[in-house]
A and B are shown apart, each in its own frame.
Chain A
Amino acid sequence: MERRFLWVAMGLAVVVVIAVAAAALLRGGTTVPYNGSIIDPPSPAADFGLTGPGGRTARLSDYRGKVVLLYFGYTNCPDFCPNTMGVLRKVRADLGAQADQVQVLLVTTDPARDTPERLANYLAAFDSTFIGLTGAEADLQAVYAGYGVTVMDEGTTHSTRVYVVDAGGNLRLTLPYGLTAAQVTADLRRILQGD
C-alpha cells in the first residue's frame, strides 16, 4: 500500500517537472533579439569624407557593399578604445570567410595627436584591415554631429557605441560598450545574412 503511494507520488512529481520545463520552453520560444540596439526602420547613415591611410580621402560610401563598424575614439585611449578594437579584432577572426564583408573604421576624437600614420600604426596592432580616419576639426565636428557623438575634454571623453552600417549604407544597429565578441559576431551574422 505504502509502496503504491510512493510510486504515485513519484509519478506526479515527474509530471510536474515535465510541465514546468515545457512551460519554460514555450515561454522562451520567441524570436531571439539582437544583442545590440536595432534601429527601426534602418536609417541612411550620414556620408562623410575624411583623411585616411596615406593621406588619401576616404568616404563612408566607399565601403558600400560591406558592413561597416564605425567607432569614434583615439589612439592614446587607455581603456574603451583598445578594448573595443580588441573585441572587433576577435569578431573578424570569428566571422571566418565572412570577415571580408566587414570593414572597421575608427574616426579620431583627438585630431591634434592622431595623424594618419599614427592611426595606421595603432590599428595595425589589432588588425591590418582596420582603417583610421582623421581630418580638420570642422570636418570632424560635422561627422560627430551627424552621428550624435559626444566629444569633450580635447577628445579624451567620447561616446563609446559602435555604429553598424549595412552593405546598403543604412544604419542598422548600435553596439553598446561591453558586448562580447560572440554577441557582436552573432548580430553581424544576422545582418550579413540579410536578416
Chain B
Amino acid sequence: MRKSIFVRVALSMVLGVLIAGVISEASFLLQDNVSRPPQEVVLVIPNGAAAQTALGQSVLAQELVLVAGDTLVVRNEDVTAHTLGPLYIPPGASASLALDQPENVMVTCSFQPQQTFGLDVRESLTLDTRIQGILLAGVPMGVLLALYSVVIWPLKKAQPA
C-alpha cells in the first residue's frame, strides 16, 4: 500500500515537472529574452567621437540590450567629455550606471547625432531562474496530478492474508 502511494506520487511529480518544463521552455523560446546572469557591460566611446558626431556620423550602435542587474560602464576615450543619461564622463575616465529594473528607454547622450541612445533592459532569465520556475510550477502540478489520479484510479486496500 505504502509502496503504491510512493510510486504514484513520484510518477505524478515527474509528470508535473515534465509538463511544466515543456510549457516554460516553450514560452522562453517564444519570448525575446536574454539568457545570461547580470554582469558588467562596458561601452567604449572612441577617440574622435565628438568630432564625428558633429559631422552627423554615428560612431556607436544606437541601442544596447542589457539585462536587469547589469552595470553599464561607459569608458570615454575621446578628448572631450561625454554624457549618457545621468552620467557625465570626463575624457579618459569612466562612469557607471546600475540598471536594476527591466525597461526600454531612450536617454540623452552626446555621442550620437540624434543625441539619444536606447537602453533596452530585459529580464535576466538564467538557467537557475528557469529551473526554479519549472519546479515552482511542476511540484504543485505533480501534487494535483497525484490527487487526481486517486479520484480516477482509487487505491486498493491490501487484502488480509
* Contact stretch, chosen from B91-99, B117-125, B139-147: B91-99
Question: Shortest beta-carbon distance, B37 to chain A, in Å?
Answer: 11
| B residues contacting the other copy or chain, number (CB 8 A) | 20
Chain B residues whose C-beta falls within 8 Å of the C-beta of A163 in the assembled complex: 88
Chain B residues whose C-beta falls within 8 Å of the C-beta of A159 in the assembled complex: 83
Mark each residue of chain A from 25 to 49: 1 if its CB lies under 8 Å from any CB of chain B, else 0: 0000000010001111111000000
Q: Is the interface of B mostly helix, strand, loop or mixed?
A: strand
Tell me whether A43 and B86 are in contact (CB under 8 A): no
Question: Shortest beta-carbon distance, B79 to chain A, in Å?
Answer: 13
Choose among B86, B92, B108 the residue that contacts A174 (Cβ–Cβ < 8 A).
Answer: B86
Tell me whether B94 and A40 are in contact (CB under 8 A): yes
Q: Given A33-B98, A174-B95: A39 and B88 within 8 A (CB)?
A: yes
Q: Does A98 contact B (CB under 8 A)?
A: no
Question: Shortest beta-carbon distance, A143 to chain B, in Å?
Answer: 13
What's the Cα separation between A37 and B87 when bound, in Å? 7
Tell me whether B88 and A40 are in contact (CB under 8 A): no
User: 14 extra interchain contacts, Cβ-Cβ under 8 A, other than A37-B86, A174-B88?
Assistant: A37-B87, A37-B97, A38-B95, A39-B89, A42-B93, A43-B92, A147-B88, A148-B82, A148-B110, A161-B87, A163-B88, A171-B88, A171-B90, A174-B87
Residues of chain B whose beta carbon lies under 8 Å from any beta carbon of chain A: 71, 81-83, 85-98, 108, 110
Q: What are some 17 contacts across the A-B interface (CB < 8 A)? A: A33-B98, A37-B86, A37-B95, A39-B89, A39-B93, A41-B93, A148-B81, A148-B82, A150-B83, A159-B83, A160-B86, A161-B86, A161-B88, A174-B86, A174-B87, A174-B88, A176-B85
